[in-house]
Amino acid sequence: MFDLKGKALAVTGSASGIGAATVDYLRAHGAYVIGLDIRPSDNADEHIAIDLSSRKSIDEAVARLPEKIDGLANVAGLAPTVPAAQVIRVNLVGTMALTNALLPRLTYGSGIVNLSSIAAFHWQQSIDQIKEALDLSFGKIDAFVEKHRIDDQPGRSYFLTKEALLAWCIRQRRTWVDRGIRMNCVSPAAVSTPLLDAFAGVMGERTKKDSDIVERSGAPADIAPVIAFLLSGASAWIRGANIPADGGVAAHYLAQENGL
């Protein structure tokens, strides 16, 4: 049993999909859950509206949060069908801005969990672009997108944000060790959420190829317990890690690429 009873935990993207399933799972295990989403919902103990593409909205949401938070799950994200600049604003820059703004409120031993993706599997191949993305502020996103012609590459905005979240997690592996705060990632493969059709439309053959590897698409309920584990004290010695919750897709890639 995870030690979540009485913990105050914040979840972005709480109104649907993996975020909603995470809210349900955490509450079922005794946590007090604050849902953060641009859409209204009543599934959490408390809902706070937030637009992760807006620094002002992030600051207003943080001001409404409790003074002490025991963990943060960064689940919110946009699909690659949205213009690249907006994907980067929400999936990466806004997510990092919210996390950094919440750090003073995080209690000793808190967990931060970023939802990455199997899309980040080859992140090392884009390290220079990732480093540049990790230094972005809201005002620099449009120029970054234009410089790298990201709108001309179907799906690249999404892949980049998930790669960058994973790299950020590794970079921050011991940043807050004196406060016992740890950051880790969860990387799903295809999960049956409202975003799945959008991925299929943009990624085409790649989405079908990944789906053929596993016996079924994932469900939000497959991912929520992994996020809960990383928010709990049971993961206290796990830092800067990435857990693939993907039906074996990452293992399949590794086997193919290494002759196994």
The label of the residue with tokens 């317990």 reads 225
**Residue 44 to residue 48: CA distance in whole angstroms:** 10
Q: Show contacts of 124-133: CB within 8 Å, 24+ apart.
A: 126/160, 126/163, 127/167, 129/160, 130/160, 130/163, 130/164, 130/167, 131/167, 133/88, 133/92, 133/160, 133/161, 133/164
Contact 11, 75 (CB under 8 A): yes
Active site residue 32: no
Please name the helix (run of DSSP H) or strand (run of DSSP E) that holds residue 113, with its range, or none. Answer: strand 106-115
Find the catalytic residue in 25, 108, 158, 253. Answer: 158
Burial (0-12, 13-18, 19+ Cβ within 10 Å), 39: exposed
- Whole-angstrom CA distances from 11 to 111, 223, 254 are 12, 13, 31
Q: Which residues are catalytic?
A: 158
